[in-house]
Amino acid sequence: MGLFDLDGHVAVVTGGNSGIGLGMAGGLAGAGAQVIIWGTSPERNEAAVARLAPHGTVASMTVDVGDEQQVTAAMSQVAERYGRLDSCFANAGFAHPATAVTDTHLADFRAVTRVDLDGAFATLREASRHMIAAGNGGSLVATSSMAVLQGMARNYAYTASKAALVAIVKALAVELARYGIRANALLPGWTESGVTASRFADDTFVKKVMPRMPMRRWGTGEDFAGIAVYLASTASSFHTGDAILIDGGYAAF
């Protein structure tokens, strides 16, 4: 596979037991990486590992990224067990049902940012620490959203978190380049996942949005396998500080 060969590579994928995270984990494992999935459900973690087993070497850990102590301990366990950490995909996230701004309570807002922003930052921070200590460089990737490019009403905590992640990634790219560590964000468009399940079940939403999809389909987790391999591999050795849009052409319509 040349530039895309991940043999000996160790990758952590948070929220890796479903949706985009599962797709990325499958791509990484298929390219030869040892992949460690983080998720909050042991049952879903085990199911994901079983599903990806034919593609490569995959393990899982039960971790709530919204808990800073769990993130710190889990990342240390990865580094100790595997002896290195080459890439980290901060992908875990969720969103509350769409709520008008006047009905959005701060407690609900913080329940989302706890995972989507605080948890992602803690994950990237701890990965950075181990990559710097190892001295082998690495790749940090945060799953943001196409929502940062347009006004997504009624999803204030989610869009705030995803926009902040792009800013964090750009800052990491500047600070960590001296250590050979790259940092990039992904901006998924309308993709099948737990976050979008309620939207896709809404006939009115589907009738409005699908005609704007040039590819005439929703994205799937597997659509993110290739970009994950690229960003983890040496093929992206000069690619950092970017926010990469993968939306099936939706924003181009």
Catalytic positions: 158
CA atoms within 13 A on the CB side of 38: 27
Give the contacts of 127 (CB within 8 A, at least 6 positions apart): 12, 75, 85, 88, 90, 138, 140
Q: Determine the Cα–Cα distance for residues 31 and 154; give it in Å rounded to an integer.
A: 39
Alpha helices in 65-215 (DSSP H): 68-82, 106-113, 120-134, 156-176, 197-200, 203-209
Dmax over Cα atoms in the chain, in whole Å? Answer: 53
